[in-house]
Copies of this chain bind each other. A is one copy, B any other.
């Protein structure tokens, strides 16, 4: 998912918007529901994607602020959760970008890079424990920085969300 893999500065192959969405009058406002907590034992740079996070055994948690904790009731019935975060360190004015592993630029909507007009990060994680009273969801791994703001959680529903034969070019 490469939610965290990108430098904050652009390179010659990047294309930028004529304006910075971060400085534009917003069309809608988000509230931060809590934060990502990465176990202190998970040293080193942020994993590039969920697979790398999982291989490194970077266990992680989502910790919600008190008002939002009742929203977790019933989540433990699900095995996996979509975690949506706000990648608050990412530039928002880049519209096409050349990742290191590609030979030419791609549009940001064809990439999972954090560089995008609305820097929303999306990962699927396996739930290992839910403590509604503490507002805490333990998961197997997340490719986000410690302290990243959480903006939504949704239960993963394989019937509509799992498309194993999807193709990538």
Hey, which bits of chain A sit against chain B, CB under 8 A?
1, 15, 17-19, 21-22, 24-33, 49-51, 67-68, 70-82, 84, 86, 88, 95-96, 105-112, 116-118, 120, 122-124, 132, 149, 151-169
Main secondary structure of the interface of A (DSSP, over half): mixed
Rounded to whole angstroms, the CA-CA distance of A84 and B25 in the bound complex is: 20
Pair B160/A124 contact, Cβ less than 8 Å: yes
Q: How many copies does the complex hold?
A: 2
Pair B165/A107 contact, Cβ less than 8 Å: no
A121 to chain B, nearest CB (A): 9
Pair A122/B82 contact, Cβ less than 8 Å: yes
Pair B17/A24 contact, Cβ less than 8 Å: no
Q: Which residues of B contact A109 (CB under 8 A)?
A: 68, 71-72, 75, 81, 152-155
Pair A96/B71 contact, Cβ less than 8 Å: yes
Rounded to whole angstroms, the CA-CA distance of A86 and B118 in the bound complex is: 12
A80 to chain B, nearest CB (A): 4
Q: Which residues of B contact A15 (CB under 8 A)?
A: 70
